[in-house]
């Protein structure tokens, strides 16, 4: 029969075993920041040549992560326990050692901090491509959205999870007053607090220049972050506004969570005061209501034809004459502050792009007829979504509209966009062949943006190919080689398909395209979109 002493020994051994099962290195740090106890594989940290007792813990941490440790010490007073968070320590030879750190501050008079470290690669284990700023360690907007939505979707019901978005004013002012180096230092300090309070020390991101967001487990972390940032730098007064939401959409699809998260952050960046949701699900309901209102507004705009057309010239590189004008759309204030591209994407997302395409074709045909009567014939190019051509509901209405206008078909080019939405290639091929039989010419947009473009070029009998604008933008890159662009031009030449280069902003790009044999070009170098088409 074991006595009290034996039971105490067993209990102690049990806790030691648990500790080593979870971590490999242990430090106790006093209120002066010096190590007073070490245990485990401590030789992996520091020079590896003797005890670290009496040494400052900060000296053992990679210089780039010392802000994180300073933030950790501050927030331990509030939280008591933090971790795991990624922190890089120094090892023998001056190399950086990636570790995961757990920190505990016991209640009571003692202000000692207990650290448990284990080896782990930096970077999230959640899968997928994760991009972070190399200087601050904060996730990019897209990476934060992806990782946060997956975490929210997988979060078990009843397990606390929150997202806080925060606006930080004053960072740009620091740059003006003290220079870019000081501003980057300040941004690193702000980032350290975000990462320290975030789930796994990683799910924190920078949304734009002054807006940030992070996932966390304690609801009060948002308030704590707000307080800590206001005193982060004695020379710069940071003004903050924040909003915290409870994650409660575990039963929804990841796509719904992602869309809701995007909606919340977009609203917050426009006006922090407008985000007054307590939970992600209430934000989803608001988003759904807002989307429905926008659908009604857009349908009304389509039915009344109150959207406007602007025209951007497409010029022959051999003659410098205008070959045709591309029709672009402009919308009034009823559609909000979104750009025309965002409104078109919204129409695609909610399934009304087909109705808009038909309305745009109707308006363009009427315009060509009017100009013809005025004795100023011109050729226009109208965008048609692949969704419309592949739609069982709307393709017949589209064909009726274009058939009614076939007397101006040789003055109207149909530019096929959103080809990724096409599911039935044979069906779309038949539709395009019928349109060509009416006299319409077909252009394949954004060619080269993905491998599927070659499949569409093979399947569809097109007259023109508009080369994706990234190929033109890349011309400004040092060491640029036009291998892929040249292969596209040669392929199109062999097929008898004319080529158009877009996003041409200067003479160098225009001359380069001409030298490669590209037939036409479009971009600000030749003219910005205007309410009156260029015909000269």
Residue ranges of domains in the chain, CATH in brackets: 4-119 (3.30.450.20), 141-290 (3.30.70.270), 305-522 (3.20.20.450)
Pair 156, 172: CB distance under 8 Å? no
483: exposed, middle or buried (Cβ count in 10 Å: 0-12, 13-18, 19+)? exposed
pTM confidence score? 0.65
Question: Residue 244 and residue 258: Cα distance in Å, rounded?
Answer: 17
What's the confidence (pLDDT) of residue 403? 95
Checking if the pLDDT of 293 tops 50, the result is yes
132 forms beta bridges with 139
Assign 25 to helix, strand or coil: strand
58 pLDDT band, cuts 50/70/90, is very high
Question: Residue 510 and residue 499: Cα distance in Å, rounded?
Answer: 13
532 pLDDT band, cuts 50/70/90, is very high
pLDDT digits (tens, 9 = 90+) for 394-419: 899 999 999 999 999 999 999 998 77
Q: Which residue has the tokens 């990636």?
A: 98
- Average pLDDT of the chain, as a whole number: 88
How confident is the model over 121-133, as a mean pLDDT?
63
Pair 417, 383: CB distance under 8 Å? yes
- Tell whether the torsion through CA atoms of 73, 77, 78 and 79 is positive or negative: positive
What is the separation of C-alpha 273 from the centre of its chain, rounded to a whole number of angstroms? 23
For 138, the token pair is: 């904060």
How confident is the model over 226-246, as a mean pLDDT?
91
pLDDT digits (tens, 9 = 90+) for 321-339: 999 999 999 988 776 667 8
Question: Residue 64 and residue 191: Cα distance in Å, rounded?
Answer: 12
For 162, the token pair is: 């929150």
Q: Which of 447, 508, 518, 446 is nearest to 476 (CA)?
A: 508
How confident is the model over 344-356, as a mean pLDDT?
84
Q: How many CB atoms within 10 Å of residue 70?
A: 18
Contact residues for 135 (Cβ-Cβ < 8 A; gap 6+):
184, 187, 188
Q: How many CB atoms within 10 Å of residue 43?
A: 16
CA distances from 25 to 61, 101, 275 (A): 14, 9, 43
Question: Residue 158 and residue 307: Cα distance in Å, rounded?
Answer: 48
pLDDT digits (tens, 9 = 90+) for 145-160: 999 999 998 887 778 8
Please report, for the chain, how many H helices and E strands are present, in that order. 17, 17
Pair 462, 513: CB distance under 8 Å? no
Q: Which of 9-23, 46-60, 479-493 has the lowest mean pLDDT?
A: 9-23
For 194, the token pair is: 């975000």
Q: Which of 15-24, 312-321, 412-421, 488-497 has the lowest mean pLDDT?
A: 15-24
Q: Which of 308, 363, 375 is nearest to 335 (CA)?
A: 308
């Amino acid at each position: 029969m074991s006595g009290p002493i034996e039971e105490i020994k067993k209990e102690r051994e049990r806790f030691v075993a648990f500790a080593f099962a979870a971590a490999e290195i242990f430090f106790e740090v006093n209120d002066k920041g010096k190590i007073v106890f070490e245990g485990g594989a401590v030789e992996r940290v520091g020079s590896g040549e003797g005890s670290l007792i009496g040494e400052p813990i900060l000296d053992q941490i990679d210089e780039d992560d010392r802000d994180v440790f300073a933030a950790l010490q501050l927030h331990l007073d509030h939280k008591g326990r933090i971790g795991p968070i990624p922190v890089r320590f120094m090892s023998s030879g001056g190399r950086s050692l990636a570790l995961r750190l757990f920190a505990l501050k016991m209640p009571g008079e003692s202000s000692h901090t207990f650290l448990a470290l284990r080896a782990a690669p930096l970077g999230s284990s959640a899968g997928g491509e994760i991009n972070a700023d190399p200087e601050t360690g904060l996730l990019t907007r897209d990476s934060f959205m992806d990782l946060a939505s997956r975490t929210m979707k997988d979060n078990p019901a009843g397990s606390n999870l929150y997202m806080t978005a925060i606006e930080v004013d004053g960072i740009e002012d620091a740059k003006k007053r003290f220079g870019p180096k000081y501003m980057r230092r300040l941004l690193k300090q702000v980032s350290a607090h975000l990462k320290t309070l975030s789930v796994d020390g990683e799910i924190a991101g920078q949304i734009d220049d002054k807006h940030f967001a992070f996932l966390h487990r304690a609801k009060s972390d948002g308030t704590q972050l707000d307080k800590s940032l206001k005193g982060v730098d004695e020379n710069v007064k940071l003004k903050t506004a924040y909003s915290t939401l409870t994650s409660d959409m575990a039963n929804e699809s990841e796509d719904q969570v992602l869309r809701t998260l995007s909606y919340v952050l977009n609203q917050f960046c426009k006006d922090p005061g407008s985000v007054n949701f307590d939970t992600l699900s209430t934000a989803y309901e608001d988003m759904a209501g807002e989307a429905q209102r926008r659908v009604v507004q857009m349908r009304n705009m389509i039915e009344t034809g109150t959207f406007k057309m602007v025209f951007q010239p497409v010029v022959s590189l051999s003659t410098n004459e205008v070959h045709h004008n591309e029709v672009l759309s402009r919308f009034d204030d009823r559609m909000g502050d979104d750009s025309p591209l965002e409104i078109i994407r919204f129409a695609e997302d909610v399934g009304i792009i087909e109705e808009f395409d038909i309305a745009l074709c109707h308006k363009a045909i009427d315009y060509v007829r009017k100009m013809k009567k005025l004795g100023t014939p011109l050729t226009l190019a109208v965008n048609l979504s692949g969704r419309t051509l592949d739609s069982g509901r709307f393709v017949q209405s589209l064909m009726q509209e274009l058939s009614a206008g076939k007397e101006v078909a040789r003055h109207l080019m149909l530019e096929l966009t959103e080809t990724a939405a096409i599911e039935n290639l044979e069906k779309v091929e038949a539709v395009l062949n019928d349109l060509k039989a009416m006299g319409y010419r077909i252009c394949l947009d954004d060619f080269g943006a993905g491998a599927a473009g070659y499949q569409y070029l093979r399947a569809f009998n097109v007259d023109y190919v508009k080369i994706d604008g990234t190929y033109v933008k890349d011309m400004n890159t040092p060491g640029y080689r036009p291998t892929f662009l040249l292969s596209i031009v040669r392929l199109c030449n062999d097929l008898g398909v004319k080529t158009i280069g877009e996003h041409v902003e200067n003479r160098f790009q225009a001359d380069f395209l001409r030298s490669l044999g590209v037939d036409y070009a479009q971009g600000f170098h030749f003219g910005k979109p205007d309410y009156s088409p260029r015909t000269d």
